[in-house]
Structure formats: structure tokens, C-alpha cells
Amino acid sequence: MKRDYYEILSIHREASVTEIKSAYRKKALECHPDRNPSAEAEEQFKEASEAYEVLSDSQKRAVYDQYGHAGLDSRGFHHGFSDMGDIFSNFSDVFEGFFGGGRGRSRNGPSPGQDLRYDLQLSFMEAFQGLERKIEIERQESCVSCEGRGYPKGHEPTTCRHCGGKGQLYHSQGFFTISSTCGSCQGQGRVVKEHCSECRGRGSIGRSKKLNVKVPAGVDNGNQLCLRSEGEAGKNGGPPGDLYVVLHVEEDHRFQRHGAELHLEQKVSMAAAALGHEVEVPVPEGHEKLRVPPGAQTGDILKLSGKGMPNLRHKGRGDLLVHLFVETPKNLSPKQEELLRAFLTESGEKTAESSFTKSPKKSKKSKRWF
């Protein structure tokens, strides 16, 4: 009579793949010959391995959950394990870094170089105008002398005799097969007889490289420029990585930026706002005259079309939106006070009454003069 797989691994029926794996590893450790040198332990280990084999496979697990052992039998899913080597070769991923590593992965294939990052600080005006900047980066470049192989031409590496090219050695210990990295080839599976004298066999050399970075006008804080293939050299013929230039744009004390749109608060005197007036407002490249219409209120917005930041994706520039702030005059001169009193008298009680509304919020609606 076969035991329940979940019971064997002491897990609940909803256990995740990770839980199943760690339960199996725990079981395997309990059955280790150093701790438990008996035929019974070996049987338990085989049993646990079979349970793991089924439960770690979503298809087999679904069949087992629904039809039990009989279901697996009828589909030919039951096979069990004859010996330890069979188990280890099947579940090398489970035992990786556990009993001294599973089968070594090939480290000789081409692998791409790493991407690099460079942080570039820009002023607001540099972002507005765009610029070209020379930067210097440290990176690993493919060795010219050996073309990145690590050994001179005509000195091809030979397959390691100790491990037969696997990079791993397998020892039997009790019923366990323990694998370890081959010392002769350091797990590479091949032996290089002569190293390139230029790069000492590494295939790449650390070099500092000067690059020209073109920053387009209109970039914003956090934008990245990608310089293709300017990262670290790849290994064994793999492509180089990319270089990412991360832009940090300083804020400007005059403007608030939303993409290509700029915002600015402009103070206007009470009289200028009432009568209408021309004011000078800052724009990125200098100053611009702006007509404040008569009767303008605090919060009203005026637009200077095409005076914002350059658009990155299409031509032209965003707008500059001017938010008005009407200032009540303070520290009046006797003459000013006299004029304002005359103004108040002229306006009479009407002004005081009409300025008082039942719901002040409704009257605060700002007007867009465009």
C-alpha cells in the first residue's frame, strides 16, 4: 500500500511549489547517511523523491489530486527511482548549493555584457537648450589582443581530463552522490594551457572611456538616454551591454514644470489688475511682455503660447501659463490713501455689499483669459 505523497513530505494539500521543494530538501537532509545510515533511511529517501517528482510537476500533481496513485499508474506516471544517482541526476536543481552543488551549468557559452549607468546633472537652462557633454566612464572592454577569448590564437583550451568537461566531480558517499566543483578546471570543464598575457586570461580589460553625450532640448528629470553597446564587454563572444545616462534636471526658482508646460505666478498690483496693464514676465530665454486684461482677479490664468519647454517628441514648445496674484497695497503714502478713500467713496456701500457672497467658494472660480 502506497502512502499519501503529501503525508510523506509532511505538507498540506495546497502547498506551493516552493514549499514542496523545501519540504523535500528537509526530508533529504534527514535521510543523510551521516545521520541515518540504514536501509530504512534509503527507502524513505526514495519514497520522498517519488512524492517530490509527482508533486513538483503540475500535470502529475493534478492527476494525483483527482485520481490518486491509481490515476498515475494508468497514465504511466509512476516510475520510482532505482538508485541514488538516478535521483540526483533528476533533481540536480533541488540540491544545487546543498550537497556541494548539482551539475555545473556551462560557463563557456556567450553571455551579454552588463549595462552601465551614468548620472548626469543638468541645470534648468541646459535642459531647455539641450547640450553636448563629454563624460568619462570606467568599463570592461573586450581584449583586443585575444579578441576576448582569454587565450592566444592557436592555443585552444582542451577538455578537462578530471571531470570530462562537466566541471563537476561526483563522489559516492553511502547511498548519496555528492557533487563538487572540479578543482582542475575550476568548474569550467576545459583547461586553458596558455593565458593571454594582455588580459591575463580574463578576455576583457578595465579601461576608462570618454564619450560624447548629446542631450536633446526639453529633457526632464529622470529621463534616460540609452547609448547602445557602450556598456561592459560581453563574455565569450556575447554582445556588449548598454550605457544608460540618467538625467537629473535642477528645478528653476521661477517656474514649475509639467512636461513641456511651464507655470509661473505673477504678482499684479490692485490698480493694474483693475485697469488692465502690461507687465513683464520671465520666460526661459529672458522676458516677455504680457497684457493683463482689466478686471483680472487673483487665480486668473494667462497664456504665453509656445513659451514653455521644447517638446521632446514633436516639434515646437509647450505653453507658459501665468497665474495672477493681485496684491493689496500696503504702507500707503498720504496721497495714495487719499485717492483710495476717494475711490471707496465713489464706489459707495455697493462695493462692500457685493463683495460679500453667501458661498465664497463659488466666487473664487478662476478665469482663463484664453
Distance CA 47, CA 55 (A): 12
195 part of the interface to Zn ion, by CB under 5 A: no
- Show the site string, 253-272: x = touches Zn ion by CB under 5 A, - = not: --------------------
162 part of the interface to Zn ion, by CB under 5 A: yes
**Helix 39-55 and helix 58-74, axial crossing angle in degrees, nearest 10:** 110
196 part of the interface to Zn ion, by CB under 5 A: yes
Number of residues near Zn ion (by CB under 5 A): 12
Q: Cβ 146 to Zn ion, closest distance in Å?
A: 3
Phi and psi at 223, nearest 5°, equal: -60, 150
Q: Cβ 155 to Zn ion, closest distance in Å?
A: 11
185 part of the interface to Zn ion, by CB under 5 A: yes
233 part of the interface to Zn ion, by CB under 5 A: no
Nearer to Zn ion, 159 or 355 (CB): 159
Q: Cβ 125 to Zn ion, closest distance in Å?
A: 46
Nearer to Zn ion, 163 or 264 (CB): 163
281 CB-near residues (< 8 Å, 6+ apart)? 264, 266, 287, 288, 289, 290, 304, 320, 322
Residues 91-150 within binding reach of Zn ion (CB under 5 A): 143, 145-146
Q: What angle do CA 116, 119, 120 make, to 5 degrees?
A: 130
CA-derived radius of gyration, the chain: 38
Cell numbers linked to 126: 541646459
User: What is the sign of the dihedral through the CA atoms of 85, 86, 87 and 92?
Assistant: positive
184 part of the interface to Zn ion, by CB under 5 A: yes
Cell 548626469 belongs to which residue?
120
* Core vs surface per residue 96-108: b (16+ CB within 10 A) or e: eeebebbbbeeee
Nearer to Zn ion, 104 or 231 (CB): 104
Could you tell me which of 23, 70, 69, 75 has the C-alpha nearest to residue 49? 23
User: Pick from 19, 65, 96, 198: which binds Zn ion (CB under 5 A)?
Assistant: 198
Q: Cβ 192 to Zn ion, closest distance in Å?
A: 11
**Rama region for 173: left / alpha / beta (φ>0; ψ in -120 to 50; rest):** beta
Residues in the chain, total: 370
Q: Cβ 157 to Zn ion, closest distance in Å?
A: 11
Distance CA 13, CA 68 (A): 13
User: Pick from 48, 72, 87, 160: which binds Zn ion (CB under 5 A)?
Assistant: 160
Of 77-85, 193-201, 264-272, 285-293: span binding Zn ion (CB under 5 A): 193-201
182 part of the interface to Zn ion, by CB under 5 A: yes
Of 53-61, 195-203, 217-225, 361-369: span binding Zn ion (CB under 5 A): 195-203
Q: Which amino acid is at 107?
A: R
Of 80-88, 152-160, 217-225, 229-237: span binding Zn ion (CB under 5 A): 152-160
Which residues of this chain interact with Zn ion, rule CB under 5 A? Answer: 143, 145-146, 160, 162-163, 182, 184-185, 196, 198-199
